Amino acid sequence: MNGPSELKPREAVRRYLDRRGTELSESSIKTYRYRLKLWVEWCEDQNIERVSDLNGWTFEQFEAFRAGQGIASPTLHGEMETLLGFIEYLERIEAVEDGLSKKVHVPSVPMSERSRDTMLVPDDALRLLRYYRSHSSVRGTRFHAVLELAWHTGARLGALRGLDLRDYYPDEQYVEFVHRPESETPLKNQMNGERTVSLLPEVVESLNTYIEKFRPDGHDDFGRSPLFVTHHGTRISKNGFRGWMYQATQPCVAGPCPHEYEKDSCEFAGSYTQGSKCPSSRSPHHIRTGSITWHRDRGFPAEVTAERVNASQEVIEQHYDKASQRERMELRRRPHLDKLRIE
């Protein structure tokens, strides 16, 4: 039987992903698989047949190859970081020499490029929510309910989609996010993502209206009763949830179109399939980003926000919090200025 040093790159990656499968979410495994697939294909093009053939020059060549393809700095950072973890695994199983992982260079990412995602601007979100709450024609609709809960909790798409009716406690005013991979609603951080999140009375009122007036009866394939149900009586899919969010955040819901389209003739307005093409509509990730920024602007401590939205303070700082330096000074630090007065 051949030893681990004889493993081909493709076989070694397969074993690595099998081991990580119990630790990572399905979406993370897919990301790792894609990144390492590029690595394996490059190794095969270079006639690298065994992992024991890897060395510092190999990693340097691969990084230069990917950088030469014009990929963004965050993308290259992510690929090399994933490769580093893979090489550390090879060290652990004694397939390569100790210390080889130290030869994998993970390039730093300029601060300006670490997160370039758009967000739902708090002013726009609050304008939409005020409209939904105050107009009976839209109050409690599925679009109102998903935006209300997403903005108030800062939760990820998967966590919101995975909610059941039993996870909503209107009398106690909170929702509970539960990791249920066996019935296809895992949380990104698995058991560490489980948490209860408190709700304001006005959010509870909005959700109650949705449940009483607009939510169809239904169950998923596992006999669970989802909070968010399609017209067909099934749990909303991830793509379906995105479609609801795009429709919920179109600015023409609550006012005139900022892009000068006529609502009656606009192909984006109120369209499930075309809603994402509206220049101002926003995805669940953009709503989460805006919500986290809003939490911090409203004075939520960093550690409280981190627990509420299930993300580390470092991740929030780098990837979600979009406040400018001026906004951080005015909204977060200036209110504390009186504490520095000398009596």
Output Rg (C-alpha) for the chain, integer angstroms.
24
| DSSP-H helix ranges across 154-190 | 157-161
pLDDT digits (tens, 9 = 90+) for 172-222: 999 999 999 999 999 999 999 999 999 999 999 999 999 999 999 999 999
Q: pTM for the complete prediction?
A: 0.66
Q: Where does the chain hold its CATH 1.10.150.130 domain(s)?
A: 4-113
pLDDT of residue 110: 65
Please state, for a pLDDT cut of 90, what percent of the chain lies above it: 64
Architecture in CATH of 4-113 = Orthogonal Bundle (1.10)
Contact by Cβ (8 Å): 49, 6:
no
Residue 45: burial class (beta carbons within 10 Å; 0-12, 13-18, 19+): exposed
pLDDT of residue 323: 60
- Higher local confidence (pLDDT), 95 or 269: 95
| 46 Cβ contact list (under 8 Å, min separation 6) | 58, 61
Domain 122-297 bears CATH identifier 1.10.1740: no
| Average pLDDT across the chain, whole number | 88
Please state, for a pLDDT cut of 70, what percent of the chain lies above it: 89
pLDDT digits (tens, 9 = 90+) for 195-208: 999 999 999 999 99
Nearest to 39 by CA among 98, 72, 84, 103: 84
pLDDT of residue 213: 97
- pLDDT of residue 116 exceeding 50, the answer is no
Residue 250: burial class (beta carbons within 10 Å; 0-12, 13-18, 19+): buried
Confidence tier at 115 by pLDDT (50, 70, 90): very low
pLDDT digits (tens, 9 = 90+) for 292-326: 989 888 888 888 899 999 998 888 776 666 666 66
pLDDT of residue 326: 66
Poorest-pLDDT segment among 12-21, 90-99, 236-245, 329-338: 329-338
Q: In whole angstroms, how far apart are CA 173 and each of 82, 96, 139, 156, 296?
A: 40, 54, 19, 20, 22
Number of residues in the chain: 343
Average pLDDT, integer, range 134-154: 97
The distance of Cα 80 from the centroid of its chain, to the nearest Å, equals 21
Contact by Cβ (8 Å): 254, 287:
no
SS3 196: strand
Q: Where does the chain hold its CATH 1.10.443 domain(s)?
A: 122-297
pLDDT of residue 164: 98
| 7 Cβ contact list (under 8 Å, min separation 6) | 15, 50, 51, 95
- pLDDT of residue 49 exceeding 90, the answer is yes
Burial 238-249 (b: 16+ CB within 10 A, else e): eeebbbbbbbbb
